[in-house]
Each structure stands twice: as C-alpha cells, then as structure tokens.
Amino acid sequence: MSATAMDAEAYAHAQNATHDQAPNPRLRKAFIITAFVTFTVLLHVTFPNLGGTGLRMPHNAAVWMGFGVMMAIAMWPASRGVIRFSAFHKGLGLLLLALWLPFLWSWNEASLIALPRMLTVTAGAILLLGIAQLQLTRRDWWWIGMAILSGVLLETAFGYVQHFVLQSGNWLGYPVETGRPYGVFQQVNVMASFLATGLVISAWLFAEARSNVQRGITLLAPLFIPFLLLTIASRSGFLGTLIAVPLVMGYLWHQDRARFKQWSGALLAGIVIATALFLLTTEGGGAVARKLEQGGGERIPVYLHSLKMIVEEPLTGWGYGRFQHDFLHSFADWRAALPQNQPEIVDPIITQTYAHPHNELLYWGIEGGLLPLLGLVGFGSWVFWRLITNGPAGERLLLAALLLPLVIHSMLELPFYHSQGHWLVLLVLMGMVARKCWQEKEKENRSNFGVRTGGVLIPAVLIVFMCTHFHTLWQTKRYVETKGEEYQALTNVINPFGVGRTLEFLVMSQQLGVAAELEMVGMVNDYLAWAEDFSRLKPSPVLYANMIRAETRFKIDDSRSLTIIKKSHHLFPYSREIHLAMEKGYQDKSNSAASPSM
C-alpha cells in the first residue's frame, strides 16, 4: 500500500472516530453548547437602534460574546504543548499576512477605520485554527450544524411574525408597509442569505439525522423558508438558493434516494405553501412585484468605478479606511470631467454615499491594492480546488453548497459587516471543509502560557466590552429618538469605543445646535473646524448640510461659505438635505440629533 493510501486510510479512520474515542470530549461538548447559545439566544438580541453595520447593531455585539467564548474553547487544547494544523492553516496565515501588509505603506489618518475589520478577520483565523485543535467528530459537526439551523428557524419564525403579526408603529420599528421581513438583521438581503444557508444545512442534517424528531426539525426549513425567500425577493438570496439547493439535492440523491425524496417532497410542499401565501397576501405580493420590476440600481456603476479606482492605484491601493472618502471624491471628479452638453451621460448614476462597494474583493482591492485582492482570490480558488479534488467522495457537492450562499452574497453586498452571525457561520463551515479536505499534523507548541492567558482574558474582555456597549447603544437611541432633548443621554455613555465616530458626530452636532441658539460664534467656528477634519474621513450630506447652515446663519466667512457650498454641490449634486440647508439656513435644530450613516 502506498504512503498516500495509508494517509487517506488513517484520515478516514479519524473522521469516522466515534464520539467516545475522540479526544477533548468536554471541550467539544462545551464548544457545541456555546454554539447553540450563540445561534439560539445571542444572535436574536435586539432593541430599537440606529441601524447600519458592525457594532451599531445590538445582535452583532451579542454574537461577539459567543464568538469570543468559542474561540477560547477551541484554542484551549493547544495549551497542552501540542498544536494541530494543516496546509490550510499555513495558507490562511499567508492570506492574513497579505491583508495586514498594506498598512506598512498606506497608513493614513483614516487607517483606524479599518482596524475593527482587520481584528475581525484575525479573530476568524484564530477560530479556524482552534477548530482544528478540537478534533471534532462527524457527529459533533452535525450538532454544530443543528445549532446554526436552530438559529435560522428562529429567524424564520421572527420573519413570519414581522410579516403577519406586527402592526404599524410596533416597538421594534419594523416597517410593516414594505412587506419584506428582515428578521433581526434589519436588511432583507442579509436575512435572505441566512435563510438560504439554513435551507442547505437542513438537507445535510436530514441526510444524517438519527431519529424521527431530528428529521422532523430539519424538515421545518424546506417547509417554511421558501415563503420568506419569495416574499423578501432578494436577488442575492435567489441566486444563492438556485445554485446551492440543486447541489445539495445532488448530494442527497447519491447518499440516500429515500431521504432525497423526503426532503425534496418537503421542499415542494414548501414551494406550494409559499405560492399560496404569496397569492393571498396581496400587499406583500405587490412589494415583491415592485422589487422585481426594478433594475440593478447603482450596483453596476459602483462596480465599474471601483474597477477604475483599482486600475489607478493597483500596487499600493488608496489606503485602508479611505473608501468612503476617496470613492465619493473620485466619482465626483469623474462626473465633473464629463462633457456638459450630453445630459444622458452626466446623469447622477451614483447618488448614494457608499462606505463599501458591495463586493468584498473590490473593497480590499481599492483600499489595499492587488496584494490583498490576489490573496483573497488565490486562497478562495485554492479552497474550492482542494474541495473538488480532495474532498471526501460523495460529499463534495455538499461542502460546496454549504459555502456558496454566503460567498455569493459577499460578492454582491456586505453581509459580514451587517451580521457577525454570518461571519461566524462561514468560519464554522470553512472549518468543516478544512477538516475534511486537508491532512492535519501535530507540532510542539511552546506558547502554552500565551494560549491560556488569551483563553481567559479575550472572552472576559469581550463580554465586559459588549455589555457596556449595549448601554451605549441604548443611550444613543434615547438621544436620537428625542431629537436631542435628552442630551444627558450622551453624557451617560461609559463605553464610547464601539461607535466612537457616531457619538462624536452627535456630540458635535449638539454643540452646533447650542451655539446657534445662543449665537456663540466661537463654538460655531470650533464645529466648522471639526467638520472639516471629519469630512476627510466620513463625508456625508448631513455633515455638509450642517456646515452650510452654520455658515449661512452667522455669515462668518463668505469665502469659506462659498467653498463649502461649492464642494457640497460637487460631491452631492442631488442631495435634498443640502438643498434644504441652502434654502432655510440654520433653522431646524432637530437636525442636530441626526445620526450619520457609517
């Protein structure tokens, strides 16, 4: 027998080890329990908030707590003097290096904006390395999949409640009139890709379910998810579903024809139910029809201009953290340079303020240049090539189908910024792919103390940080809801770091409102100086509108006023906010409580 065949046989034996034979039984159990808590409890933590991405969303802060505990549990076996890894983890380390290196040559005043993203990516790499230490069995993976599916089913139930139960003016702020449930994510496409991933996971779990109860739970997904996918009418959700579901059905067909028929029958029943409910709910149907009639919006122009920016700065990129500022200015300069006698060419095309190009590869390519872009493309291609060529026989379609809905969505939007849960799901599924497609080996680890210290401190710090962050989000919500009347809410904040720039914007806007009311020209000048600096990081129509109101109200500096007005028209030529500021001057104090989009 060849060495390769012997390795494959040993690998297959390790994969099929029974639950009792596998090492780290307590840690594996703790990891699974934490996964259940994260996906069934923490993921669904929400209350009225500012909306947006990252830590502006309560559920992301909650999931981070579970993420930190899972990371600590997973890495703990490495504190015993031995660390497990494979070529996958070496490639992951090289990718991480490629993502961090652009900081060396492109550090700028906006680079700190990218730091949370880099720390999230690094935490993901640590979790993937940790998963290898646990040596999870096939049954362990099934239970982790069940944890994710449980979270999906709870979001499905929440989606039905939003669609059929909630009324206008509900305390969660869900816009009933849209007829498009978004779950806890507050963004319909993010909800759709989560449901599509859950649909694929249910087929995998159904194939390996051992009892009628387990089979019944997994069949809830194909029965009830299709209606929400149809109602939400997300193109990215449809695309991920239409590609991934046939693949996982192919997996079921080869694994067990009887279970293929049962799951397919449940899916067909779900489609029938979805069609019936869709026809009965005329309001939701109308919203979907309007959505499907719309074109691609601004996405194609954003992609094309993003490619243009990469071509302009291919080696160094524009700098980490600079996308929102540089994309806005670059497009405005391009628009201004077009011939003015051709109105069909100089139409606004891109009218929104973008903090992300709605494509993950373009984002890294614009800010970091070709190094991180090629690193991501190369690593992703390598993973899928390895999956196809070295994946377990009969499971390759499954492994590809599990990853595709989230990967496809990341090429069309920014799901991992809207939802930490999506990022955690992708990491867990990639950990399973790595476990099945790469041979692992052991090496002596001399950093036992570091692993133990990190395993205790990291989750503790994350939990304390996120708990105090909840308080910050609540106080900020109070301030914005009362349009600045409860100004003391901002002074009650004890942890400003999670949404620092949002708080900075609100505090300075409050200062401008007070200065305008008391006619304190000095404070107005302070605001304008601050706004000039802030516009180099996070330009927005609201910021420029405030600057215009301040200048037109006090007539401090005519030349500066003209400069601000000219620049605002250059960057936001069709902004209603700026036109109102020009017309009314600084009359509406309520704008001081407006929250920036970031």
pLDDT of residue 286: 54
For residue 404, CA distances in Å to 241, 282, 295, 378 come to: 9, 32, 24, 17
Digitized pLDDT (tens) for each residue of the chain, 598 residues in all: 444 444 444 444 445 555 556 788 999 999 999 999 999 999 999 999 989 999 999 999 999 999 999 999 999 999 999 999 999 999 999 999 999 999 999 999 999 999 999 999 999 999 999 999 999 999 999 999 999 999 999 999 999 999 999 998 888 889 998 889 999 999 999 999 999 999 999 999 999 999 999 999 999 999 999 999 999 999 999 999 999 999 999 999 999 999 999 999 999 999 999 999 988 875 545 555 555 555 456 888 999 999 999 999 999 999 999 999 999 999 999 888 877 655 555 455 788 889 999 999 999 999 999 999 999 999 999 999 999 999 998 999 999 999 999 999 999 999 999 999 999 999 999 999 999 999 999 999 888 899 999 999 999 999 999 999 999 999 999 999 888 888 889 999 999 999 999 999 999 999 998 888 888 888 999 999 999 999 999 999 999 999 998 888 777 677 888 889 899 989 998 888 888 888 765 454 444 445 555 5
Sheet strands (E) in 5-149 = 82-86
Burial 175-211 (b: 16+ CB within 10 A, else e): eeebbbbbbbbbbbbbbbbbbbbbbbbbbbbbbbbee
User: Residue written as tokens 């691609």?
Assistant: 296
Rounded Cα–Cα distance for residues 297 and 328 (Å): 17
CA separation for the pair 501, 246 (Å, rounded): 44
321: alpha, beta or left? (left if phi > 0; alpha if psi -120 to 50)? left
Distance between alpha carbon 502 and the CA centroid of its chain, in Å?
19
- The answer for residues whose C-beta is within 8 angstroms of residue 182's C-beta and 6 or more apart is 159, 162, 174, 188, 190, 191, 232
Q: What b/e sequence results for 359-393 when a residue is b if at least 16 CB atoms lie within 10 Å of its CB, and e otherwise?
A: bbbbbbbbbbbbbbbebbeebeeebbebbeeebee
- For position 282, what pLDDT does the model report? 55
Separation of alpha carbons 448 and 1, rounded Å: 38
Q: In terms of C-beta density within 10 A (0-12 exposed, 13-18 middle, 19 or more buried), how is residue 164 classed?
A: exposed
Q: Contact 251/401 with Cβ under 8 angstroms?
A: yes
